[in-house]
Structures are given as structure tokens and as C-alpha cells.
Chains A and B, each alone.
Chain A
Amino acid sequence: MSLLQVRDVSKHFGKLVAVDGVSLTVEPGELRAVIGPNGAGKTTFFNLVSGFFPPTRGSIVFDGRDITSLSEHRRVRLGMARTFQVTEIFPELTVRENLRVPVEVAAGRRLSPWLTKAADAGIRARVGELMEMGGIADKADRLVGELSHGDQRATEIMMSLALNPRLLLLDEPTAGMGDQETYNITRLIRRLHRDQKQSIVLIEHDMRVIFHLADRIMVLAEGAVLAEGTPDEIAADERVQAAYLGKAA
């Protein structure tokens, strides 16, 4: 069964049609990229999938269950986690504290007024493991707000991963980064995908990143699907080239 099935969703803001009849199917273990020129509706599409706002039309099925009208935190509980284009973290908390929150939520502890010693040890261990995986263990006790952009992004990705998601949605994870940071984040995403069979949907601008990582690519333009296929097919697609290079082609 497909992990995610988005069926013909649209989103209207007043008269503006931001997303127009987009469908997408993601299989378990797949890494799917969504690309498109600025204003193509990529982030709006993500917001629909993650429950930031409801679609005007269409339906979204996650793991066989219709989640179209489910609130964002319920989607998270079903196994969907996301990051944002502009990093969303807890700036005045340390890396360790940032990760501790989702680890406790994932452990079903969000309402607990206390923890047993054993439970506390388990949570600490999981936080340590995530920091290792994300390459941020050496900054465990620094405030996240003081870290570099790349480390903030790594923290955000690991926070999402702490929820043990079945599907991870990444909105331009390398936006605004230098080459070295882009490389580090790309490597992290690839490790998650290859080694842990993590299912990922990724919005990206950087073509190097996309063609390096993605199993399949969906191209959006003006709110609608322009093309879909493997990286090679997309690279060869004339309509895609036209959309990116101008109407001339």
C-alpha cells in the first residue's frame, strides 16, 4: 500500500489559485523531490499535506487513512513530521533541550508531570543517539539560536526524526547554505534514506541536491503538475526546461 496518496488537491486564497489539482503518490522507503520555479505552489502543497491549512478541494490519504481534515498534531501522531523553509526551532533552548521535547512527545510523555529514573535515562539515551546521528553532539549544551545555519537545520531535521515519523517532509533543507553546509545536510538526508529506509518528500531548489538524492521527481508550475518521473526523465523533459529557462524553449 502506498504511504501517501494526495488526490487532486487544490488550494484557493480568495481568487488566487495557489495549488490546482495536484496528485502525488509516495511509496514506503521512497525519496520524492518536489521542484518548480518560485511561486509554483510547492510550499503551499506542503502545507496542505502537513495540515497547516485544509485544502479547498481534494483529499489526502496517509497510510490508508483519510487525513484531509485532521489537525496537524494528529497527523504528527500518525507519523508525519516536517521541517520549514525558514528554520523553526526553540532558539533560547540548548540543542539537547530542543531534541528532548520531541523525544518525550514520541514516548507518549507530553502530559507527564514527572519521570521515573528509568524513563529519564531512556529519553536521555535517545536524545544522545539523535545528536550523534545529526552530527551535533559536540554542541549539545549550546543555545540553538547561537549556532550556524547548517547546525540549526540539522537540529530541526533531528527534531522531526525524533518523532519516529513514517514520512518526513523537508521544505528546502539546504536553502541559504554554503557549499560545505549543503554537502553535510545532503549527506545526512541520504544516510537517513539509504540506511534507515526513511520515506522522505523534499522540496528543493538546488538541482545538484535533487538529482543526487531523489528516486522520483515531481515538477510543479503555476500550482499544477508539469511533469513527473525519474531524475533522468525529468532532466530530458522539454517542458521542464522551458519552465526553468523561460518560455522560449
Chain B
Amino acid sequence: MSALRQQVPNAVVWLVLLTMPYWMGAVGGYTELASRVVVLGLAAMALNFLLGFTGVLSFGHAAYFGLGAYGVGMTIKYLVPSTPLGILVGAAVGTLAAMVIGALIVKLRGVYFAMVTIAFGQVFFFIAFRWNEVTGGDDGLTGWKRQALDLGFTRVDILGSDKAFYYLVLAVFAACVAAMALLLRSPFGRTLIAIRENERRARFLGIPVEQHIWLSFVISCFFVSIAGTLYALLSNFTDPRALRWDQSGNFVIMAVLGGMRSFWGPLIGAAIFVVLQDYVSSQTENWMSVIGVFFMLVVLFFPRGVLGILRRRLAS
């Protein structure tokens, strides 16, 4: 019975995701918006691997998201016109950067960790911003397009068909999410939760906490850079804003809004945030104020997030 009850939310999530392009239009959305929800949902869930399940606050994940985006764009533009290869390169670049920076910061905790991640995020922003000839600078990286998938027996035109691209995004999302779920249920995943619950105890149970936090950080950044590659592919474009600090803040608010103690929470947070941002920016020039006030309201009145509140209701 309880196993069944656990499967119900999973089934609902997948059903919604699988059918989204078919009803998105009917509720006033469009397929690209659906793709954006899934992509940013993946980014927020990846962040939450670190934030919600290891208890470490990174406020600089946009850096790795952006590295993924530039990685895929520059691969297709300058190296090989292949979408899968671009995704691999993007993920590799983001992960590599995370390995180096992670090693510098694992000794820090709490607000200090957050502050250093914010600051380091800026390095990549300035590189993208300044290195005009290669990155396109402030105007962004243009002049490339996602390439049709060649599966050997058939070609999938993900460029011409928004729906086909959506299902590519969903397939990558599914693989990433499954991997994260598997990791969180493994002995390694339990050490991360142990660190979140009580770092001192974890240390004195023989867990080298720094090493595990580093691994969690790198894994989280790996998935966030994959999300970044998809984000660039979605609009055939990327610019320095993809890796600026405000994007990092957006990921964190998505996780908090949906509920950072729950696996699916960040996806729900991403859906709410993306739809809200899409709507508000089409309505007013002062969308920044609206989003800013929204941040404050979430913090002051919904700190547990949608799923956190739901779970409380169910429990009582």
C-alpha cells in the first residue's frame, strides 16, 4: 500500500510531462515554454541534489549552467555540427570547472560557501562577456543551430519540430533524473543526507566530509551543465546572462518554491517560476520588481515550498 502510494506522485509527474506539448496550447502556453519548464526543472533538481540532499548552499550554479550552454554552442559552431557531441562537450566543460572550483571551496560552509560560489560564478561571466571574438561578448553566441539527430536508422528533425525537440529534452531529463534518484538511494546518497543532517556525526562515523561534498558538488554541476546545454539548444543561442548571478538565484528560488526536501519539488518550483516570468515579462517592463517581490513573499510566507506544505497537510 505505502509502496503504491509512493508510486502515485511519480506516475502523475511522468504523465504530465509526457503529454505536456499536447495540452500546453490549450491552456495558453506553447511547446517551447514546456521545454523551458523541463530544462530549468532539471537545473533546479540538479542544484537541489546539493542544496536539499547534501545541505550545502551554492549560489553560483549558473556558472556551470552557462558553461554547458557555451560548450554546446561553440562545439556546434566551431568544431562538429553534432547535437549529442555538443551536449557531451558542454557537460564535460561544466563538470571540469566544477571539479577545480569545488576543490577550492569544500572547506567552507554555510554563508561563506554561498558567498564564494557567487563570486566564482562571476569569473565565467566576465570571460563570456569579454572574449568577444569567440563568445560573441555581450551580444551572445549566434550563428549556430541545433542539428538533426542521426540515429542510424532514422533522422529526427529536432530543429524543425518543436515537439520532437521537446521529447529529446524529456529523454535527457529522464536519464538525468533517474541517475539522481538512484544515487540518492545508494549508500553514497545516504552519506550525503547524513552530512546534511549532522556533519559532525558524519565525520565521526568515518565519512571524509570534504570529499563527499566535493563529489556532490561535481555531480550537481554535471547535471546542471547538461541542463545548460539543453537551454542553449532550445533557443539556438546563448549569452552571458545564462551564467550571471541572477540565474543562480533563480535556480535557488525554484528549489525553495517547490520544496527542497522533496525530490520533485524543484521541478514544480521551476514550472511556477517559468510560467510566472513568461507572463509577467509580457505584461510589464518592471518585471524585475515583480520577481523580486515574489522572492520575498516566498521566503516570508512559503519557506517550505509547495510540496513541503502539501506534505504537512497530508500528515496532519
| Interface positions of A (Cβ within 8 A of B) | 50, 71-73, 76-77, 81-82, 84, 88-93, 97, 100-102, 104-106, 109-115, 159-160, 163
CB-CB under 8 A from A89, the residues of chain B are: 198, 201
CB-CB under 8 A from A159, the residues of chain B are: 201, 205
With A82-B204, A102-B205 given, is the CB distance from A115 to B190 under 8 Å? no
Q: CB within 8 A of B186: which of A82, A115, A163?
A: A115
Provide the bound-state CA to CA distance between A184 and B182, in Å: 39
Provide the bound-state CA to CA distance between A105 and B201, in Å: 13
Question: Dominant SS at the B interface?
Answer: helix
B209: nearest residue on chain A (CB-CB)?
A: A73
Q: How far is the CB of A80 from chain B (nearest CB, A)?
A: 9
With A73-B207, A76-B206, A163-B206 given, is the CB distance from A97 to B200 under 8 Å? no
Judging by beta carbons under 8 Å apart, are A73 and B206 in contact?
yes
CB-CB under 8 A from A77, the residues of chain B are: 206
List of 7 A-B pairs having minimum Cβ-Cβ separation, nearest first? A76-B206, A90-B197, A104-B187, A88-B201, A109-B187, A112-B187, A102-B205
Give the total of B residues in contact with A, Cβ under 8 Å. 23
Judging by beta carbons under 8 Å apart, are A72 and B203 in contact?
yes
The 8 A CB mask of B185-218 against A (1 = contact, 0 = none) is 0111011011001101111111111001001000
Judging by beta carbons under 8 Å apart, are A101 and B194 in contact?
yes
B199: nearest residue on chain A (CB-CB)?
A: A88
Most chain B Cβ neighbours within 10 Å, of A90, A97, A109, A163: A90
| Interface positions of B (Cβ within 8 A of A) | 182-183, 186-188, 190-191, 193-194, 197-198, 200-209, 212, 215
Judging by beta carbons under 8 Å apart, are A105 and B193 in contact?
no
CB-CB under 8 A from B187, the residues of chain A are: 104, 109-112, 115
Q: How far is the CB of B80 from chain A (nearest CB, A)?
A: 31
Provide the bound-state CA to CA distance between A76 and B182, in Å: 28
CB-CB under 8 A from A76, the residues of chain B are: 204-206
Q: A73-B204, A90-B194 are in contact. List 15 more A-B contacts (CB 8 A).
A: A72-B204, A81-B204, A84-B200, A84-B204, A88-B198, A88-B200, A89-B198, A91-B198, A93-B197, A104-B190, A110-B207, A112-B186, A112-B188, A159-B205, A160-B205
CB-CB under 8 A from B186, the residues of chain A are: 112-115
Provide the bound-state CA to CA distance between A188 and B197, in Å: 26
B193: nearest residue on chain A (CB-CB)?
A: A93
Provide the bound-state CA to CA distance between A73 and B208, in Å: 6
A92: nearest residue on chain B (CB-CB)?
A: B197
Q: How far is the CB of B52 from chain A (nearest CB, A)?
A: 12
A100: nearest residue on chain B (CB-CB)?
A: B190
Q: How far is the CB of B103 from chain A (nearest CB, A)?
A: 17
A114: nearest residue on chain B (CB-CB)?
A: B186
Q: How far is the CB of B220 from chain A (nearest CB, A)?
A: 15
Provide the bound-state CA to CA distance between A43 and B119, in Å: 39
CB-CB under 8 A from A114, the residues of chain B are: 182, 186
Provide the bound-state CA to CA distance between A50 and B201, in Å: 12
Q: CB within 8 A of A111: which of B188, B194, B198, B201?
A: B188
Most chain B Cβ neighbours within 10 Å, of A81, A97, A106, A114: A114
Judging by beta carbons under 8 Å apart, are A113 and B183 in contact?
yes
With A113-B182, A114-B182, A114-B186 given, is the CB distance from A88 to B191 under 8 Å? no
Provide the bound-state CA to CA distance between A94 and B195, in Å: 15
Provide the bound-state CA to CA distance between A40 and B186, in Å: 43
CB-CB under 8 A from B204, the residues of chain A are: 50, 72-73, 76, 81-82, 84, 88, 160
Q: How far is the CB of A204 from chain B (nearest CB, A)?
A: 19
Judging by beta carbons under 8 Å apart, are A91 and B191 in contact?
no
Provide the bound-state CA to CA distance between A106 and B182, in Å: 21
Q: How far is the CB of B315 from chain A (nearest CB, A)?
A: 12
Q: CB within 8 A of A101: which of B182, B183, B190?
A: B190
Q: How far is the CB of B192 from chain A (nearest CB, A)?
A: 10
CB-CB under 8 A from A100, the residues of chain B are: 190
CB-CB under 8 A from A113, the residues of chain B are: 182-183, 186, 188
CB-CB under 8 A from B209, the residues of chain A are: 73
A115: nearest residue on chain B (CB-CB)?
A: B187
Provide the bound-state CA to CA distance between A71 and B200, in Å: 13
* Interchain Cβ contacts under 8 Å between A and B, 26 examples: A73-B203, A73-B208, A77-B206, A84-B204, A88-B198, A88-B204, A89-B198, A90-B197, A90-B198, A90-B201, A93-B194, A93-B197, A100-B190, A101-B194, A101-B205, A101-B207, A102-B206, A104-B190, A105-B191, A106-B206, A110-B207, A110-B212, A111-B187, A111-B188, A160-B205, A163-B206
